[in-house]
Each structure stands twice: as C-alpha cells, then as structure tokens.
Amino acid sequence: MSVVLIRPLAVRTVAVSDPGDLLSRLPDAMPYAWIRHGEGLVGWGEAARIVIPPGPDRFDRAREWLGSLFDGARIDDEVEAPGSGPVAFGSFTFDGDAAGSTLVVPRTVLARRGGRAWLTTIGEAGSVPVTSPVEPGRIRYGDGTLTAPEWEQAVARAVRRIRSGTLDKVVLARDLTATAERDIDTRVLLSRLAVRYPECYTFSVDGLTGATPELLVRHTGRSIESLVLAGTTPRGAGPAEDAARGVALYASGKDRHEHACAVASVQEALAPLCSTLDVPARPELLVLPNVQHLASRVSGRLSDGASVLDVVAAMHPTAAVGGTPTGTALRVIRELEGMARGGYAGPVGWIDSRGDGEWGIALRCAQISGRRARLFAGCGIMAGSDPVAELAEAQAKFRVMQYALEG
C-alpha cells in the first residue's frame, strides 16, 4: 500500500463569500473537482494520498486508512456541512483486480452548496497563483485497443453468448486515443463540460476527467440516493425526431429490460444496508445534449452508520456498467474488450470525515496525461443488440469528451 501524508492533519474550514465560478479558481496543477449546476467542490495541492492495492478488500482498506487519518486530525470546522472539514477525492478502478485505485486529500478545498460557501485548508496551504487556462490546440484521433469493425465483431460475439443463455447482459466498452498540440490543461475541459452538461457531475481525479450522468450514491447523514441509467438513444436532428426517439426508447422492450436489470442490481445491493428503500415502478427520460437515457431515482435510509464508501463497495459494479449476472459479465468483458479500463466505469467522487459524500460512475470521461488523452465509451449489450447501432451509440458518447477537447 503506497501512502503519502502529512500527519497529523491540521484542518481549518471557514465560511467565505460566494466565490463565483469554482472552476475558475483552480490553479494550473493537478485539479480535483466535483461540480453540478455550479455547485460542489474543487481542490488542489496534496496533504495525503494512498494508492490502494487491488483485491476484494480495497474499499475496506480505503475506509480504514481514511478513518485513521481523519480520527487523528485536528479539525476546526465552523461550517459543519457535507463536504466541509477534510475531504478526500477518489477514483477506483472498474476491475477490482486492477491497480490504480487512489484517494487524495487536497491541501485546499473550495466549496459551494445550498447558498453557502466555504474554504478548507490543511497546514500552511499558502496562496497558489491562478494562471489563464491554455487551449490544447489541434486534436488528432486514433484507434484505441480495437478498431470500429473489430469492436462490432466483439459485440456480435457478446450477442451470441447472450442468446445461448450464458448471461443476460454485458456492457462492452471501447477506447479512442487523442493527441493534442500542447499539454492538455484539465481546467479547459472541466469548464467546457460544466457549461454544456450542467445536469451531469463534472469531475477530475488524478487526470481522470469527465462529466458523468450517473450518480452511484449521494450520502447525507443516513439518507442515500442513486440515479440508475440504462437504455440509451442518440438525440434527434430536430425536435420532432428527438421526441420520436424518446418515445421509441421508452417503448423499447430491449431497453426497458436492460434498465430493469440495472435497477434490480442496485436494489439488491442497497436492500441489506437500508431500513427503507424507494424504487420507482417505471423509469423516466433523462435528456442530455448528446443522448437520452432511461433513468430511475432510487432513494433510501441507511439502517446503521455506514459511510458512503461502504455503500459504494456494496453497489459496484452495477449492471449498468458490468452486466448480469455480474461474475459472468466480468469474465466476458475481460475476454472480449481486450483492454484495461482503468478508472473508466469505476467509482469516482469524494468523502468527508463524517462519511458523507457523492460518488458517480466514471462515464463520458478520458484519462489525461500530458498531450495525450484516452477516451472511453460503453454500451449495454442485450440479446436484441445490433452491432452497428451499438457502435453509433458509443460514438455519440465519445462526443462528450471530443467536445471538451475541441470546444
């Protein structure tokens, strides 16, 4: 277990006046962010970090490390709200056997929520100059692990497996490489994503950057909420076509079954943790600038003092990003995708010292490193899936990060 920290943490949170655009306050350094509708948290600097070894106990190790770190901290918090006091931003790999899961406690966190704003500093944070974001310039794209025809073949193989009765659903992802003229300034991507996709959760943790529509869990006190997405169609060329696509999606037996599988997996994971659980009988339509989704908002009340990481551990991977049954779907993913997902489709978000936090599924995202970006998109494959249509859906999902890179 790789650990870097300043111990003990001396943490101070104070109320501040409205800072305006949170993302505009980020310095030119590895930024941390979780923003929706202009509210949330941004952070920079590093007071503590852990790289969590892969394995079935990785969430337990993360929780234990945070508990030890936060229990030993000297915390002066005049705000006492979810996200005040010390906060860790985190990203867990999709595959529990893959390396790369990380938690970081920034030295400085600036937050705004519900008409309040606050600043948290750890130790002698000092001021960091904020420079103007730099555009990445011209972008060149290249194939990722599989070409488009190869990925269509993988989808066709998955459909045959499903029709044979091996499994009900599998989510197959593909990647795309992008190379910019200049080093990619994550702040540029975050600002574009937050403006164009305000309904999504714009995030950045250790170079994994995106705008996910899928809230895995929001934990406040003993209340939890999850937004389940499964079943997708691209937006239409005009209002009439757009409305028709939404109606067709809602009426699609294939997409409704896919959605029902995803909701059932979330319900099964949350039921043992909750004293009450509200699961909608029917989905709603979530309309985003690039696609429409079938969506269900699940809410509940925890029966004990579980932290948000306990809930994340119970829920991941959901059927929306893995498939059903889970074990079989994961084996098929490893066989057919031919790539390491890294943090893509894994949990990403934040947790505070009270165990509150918000975690999403890292979708519509890219891993940024210098001038290079690795983009990801995935589709739920069912017995009735058409490889050509699934490729078109993946391409529609790639457009989120292509827009972030190109503007």
Catalogue the active-site residues.
169, 214
The DSSP line for 261-326 is HHHHHHHHHHGGGEEEEE--SS-EEEE-SSEEEEEEEEEEEESS---HHHHHHHHPSPTTTSEESH
- Residue 117 belongs to what H/E stretch? strand 116-122
Judged by DSSP in three states, 133 sits in coil
List CB contacts of 22: < 8 A, sequence separation 6 or more: 33, 35, 38, 40, 41, 42, 110, 111, 112
Instruction: Return the residue matching tokens 């705008």.
Output: 211
One-letter amino acid at 389 equals A
Give the pair of three-digit tokens for residue 253. Answer: 């037996």
Whole-angstrom distance, CA of residue 90 vs CA of residue 351:
8
List CB contacts of 147: < 8 A, sequence separation 6 or more: none
Tell me which DSSP letter residue 235 carries: P
142 C-beta neighbours (distance < 10 Å), count: 8
List CB contacts of 253: < 8 A, sequence separation 6 or more: 384
Instruction: Return the residue matching tokens 């079954």.
Output: 257
Whole-angstrom distance, CA of residue 116 vs CA of residue 187:
23
